[in-house]
């Protein structure tokens, strides 16, 4: 009763205060309680993270042991399998750790063991779990799911195709990589499905997957140099250069008449890298109409495949400072090498 009367008294004195003071006290109290709440929240967040680290370590150890048992024990019992499945149902963290462990095992094993891992992965229901995520999960989980499926080379192309046109760049990126990593041949067939330009980031990852994940025959990149998307066309021209596909030079030459300056620039760079010196007259044929980026590339081509006189004879209009600098540099290099 005393407290109630004290509170009433306080309330009465508060009401008697001028407006500004009342406002300040209210705001001050509000801020104070928010501080207390946030401090408590921050500290609990930190402790929660520390606990998760401990829990994760224990999960990692136990799950790695279980996968090892499956891979290396001659008699793997039904009981062990159901223990694993029950373990996965423990909580979301256990499932996350299990998925990570499967990825680690996939990285470290080859051949027959990979097949066994895939089988086990499907058997314990993780593949179905990921398919469910793909069907109705959050986009972040979908990205992870596609990544895991492609690393484990678990195929479900039908489910994956729509993701190639997804508005979320990260999903599209993982779907692209999925098709390369899981392909046995023709790893770039998916390019026909693309409707949005490739970013440089995606191009780099496609290149990496082709070089280090895909194990089939190197595709013929010239097949896609006339793709409707400029970035796809440019990417394939670059790959012709990177994989030294001299057999594609014939298909590249007509692209020198290409109106798209970015594509033309890439073609010239590729012909230069492949050292196709007899392409120089064709490279020079539209010089006057070319933009400065192409002209700059032509100067580089001459400094690599041509000679000093050829450069001087270009008769370029050097109004653009970048062009002039490229020209002077080429002159300097050709002079010092001749």
Partner 1 sequence: MINVDLLFSIFSWLFILYSVIVYVGYLLASFFSFLELRDYKQNNAIENEVPLLKTSNLPAISILAPAYNESVTIIENVRSLLTLNYSAFEIIIINDGSTDDSLEKLITTFQLKLDTSPRYNFMHTAKVRAVYKSKLSSFASLVVIDKENGGKADALNAGVNLAKHHLVCCIDVDCVLEQDALVKLVKPFLNATKRKVIAAGGVIRIANSCVIEDGKLVKVELPKSFIARAQLLEYFRAFLMGRMAWSRIDGLLIISGAFGMFDKNLVIEAGGYNTDTVGEDMELLVRMRKMMIKQKIPYEVGFIPNPLCWTEVPEDLTILSKQRNRWARGCAETLWIHRRMLFNPYYKTLGLLSTPYWFFFEWLAPLIEFIGILFFLYLIFTEQVNWMYSISFFIVIYFLSVLFSITAIFFEEYSFQQYKNVKDIFKLILASFLEPLCYHPLVMWYSVRGNIDLFSRKKGWGKMTRKGFTK
The stretch among 109-117, 169-177, 218-226, 304-312 that binds partner 1 (CB under 8 A) is: 169-177
Residues in contact with partner 1, total (CB under 8 A)?
54
C-alpha distance across the termini of the chain, in Å:
104
Cα-Cα-Cα-Cα torsion 125, 130, 132, 133, nearest 10 degrees, comes to 150
Q: Following DSSP, what letter does each residue of 69-116 receive, concatenated?
A: HHHH-SS--HHHHHHHHHHHHH-HHHHHHHHHHHHHHHHH--THHHHH
Q: Out of 11, 14, 31, 119, point to the residue binding partner 1 (CB under 8 A).
A: 31
The stretch among 114-122, 201-209, 253-261, 281-289 that binds partner 1 (CB under 8 A) is: 201-209
Which CA distances in Å does 102 have to 65, 94, 172? Answer: 12, 12, 23
Q: Measured from the CB of residue 210, what is the shortest distance to partner 1 in angstroms?
A: 10
> Rounded distance, CA 86 to CA 79, Å?
10
Contact flag: residue 72 with partner 1 (CB under 8 A): no
Contact flag: residue 128 with partner 1 (CB under 8 A): no
CB 181 within 8 A of CB 163: no
Nearest to 147 by CA among 174, 184, 108: 174
CB 332 within 8 A of CB 301: no
The stretch among 1-9, 121-129, 181-189, 196-204 that binds partner 1 (CB under 8 A) is: 196-204
Q: Out of 61, 90, 208, 288, point to the residue binding partner 1 (CB under 8 A).
A: 208
Q: Out of 10, 28, 68, 277, point to the residue binding partner 1 (CB under 8 A).
A: 28
Contact flag: residue 147 with partner 1 (CB under 8 A): yes
Which CA distances in Å does 208 have to 155, 177, 181, 286, 290? Answer: 20, 10, 10, 35, 32
Contact flag: residue 201 with partner 1 (CB under 8 A): yes
Nearest to 232 by CA among 179, 176, 160, 301: 176
Q: Measured from the CB of residue 247, what is the shortest distance to partner 1 in angstroms?
A: 20
Residue among 135 and 204 whose Cβ is closer to partner 1? 204
The site for partner 1 (CB under 8 A) is made up of: 17-18, 20-21, 23-25, 27-28, 31-32, 34-35, 38-39, 41-43, 45-47, 49-50, 139-140, 143-144, 147, 169-170, 174, 196-197, 199-201, 203-205, 207-209, 211-212, 238, 242, 321-322, 324-325, 328-329, 331-332
């Amino acid at each position: 009763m005393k407290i109630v009367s004290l509170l009433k008294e306080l309330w009465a004195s508060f009401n008697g205060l001028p407006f500004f003071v009342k406002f300040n006290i209210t705001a001050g109290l509000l801020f104070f309680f928010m501080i207390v709440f946030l401090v408590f929240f921050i500290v609990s967040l930190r402790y929660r993270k520390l606990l998760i680290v401990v829990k994760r370590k224990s999960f990692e150890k136990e799950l790695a042991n279980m996968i090892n048992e499956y891979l290396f024990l001659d008699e793997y019992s039904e009981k062990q399998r159901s223990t694993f499945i029950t373990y996965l149902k423990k909580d979301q963290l256990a499932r996350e750790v299990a998925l990570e462990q499967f990825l680690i095992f996939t990285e470290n094993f080859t051949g027959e063991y990979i097949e066994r891992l895939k089988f086990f992965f499907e058997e314990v229901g993780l593949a179905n779990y990921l398919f469910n995520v793909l069907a109705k999960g959050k986009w972040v989980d979908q990205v992870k799911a596609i990544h895991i499926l492609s690393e484990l080379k678990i195929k479900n192309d039908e489910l994956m195709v729509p993701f190639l046109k997804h508005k979320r760049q990260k999903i599209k990126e993982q779907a692209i990589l999925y098709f390369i990593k899981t392909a046995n041949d023709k790893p770039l067939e998916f390019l026909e499905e693309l409707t949005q330009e490739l970013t440089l980031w995606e191009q780099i990852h496609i290149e990496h997957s082709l070089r280090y994940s895909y194990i089939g025959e190197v595709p013929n990149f010239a097949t896609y140099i006339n793709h409707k998307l400029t970035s796809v066309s440019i990417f394939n021209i670059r790959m012709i250069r990177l994989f030294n596909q001299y057999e594609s030079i014939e298909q590249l030459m007509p692209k020198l008449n290409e109106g798209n300056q970015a594509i033309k620039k890439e073609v010239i760079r590729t012909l230069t890298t492949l050292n196709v010196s007899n392409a120089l007259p064709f490279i020079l044929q539209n010089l006057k109409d070319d933009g400065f980026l192409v002209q700059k590339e032509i100067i580089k081509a001459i400094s690599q495949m041509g000679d000093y006189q050829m450069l001087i004879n270009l008769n370029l209009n050097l109004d653009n400072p970048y062009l002039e600098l490229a020209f002077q540099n080429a002159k300097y290099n050709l002079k010092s090498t001749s």
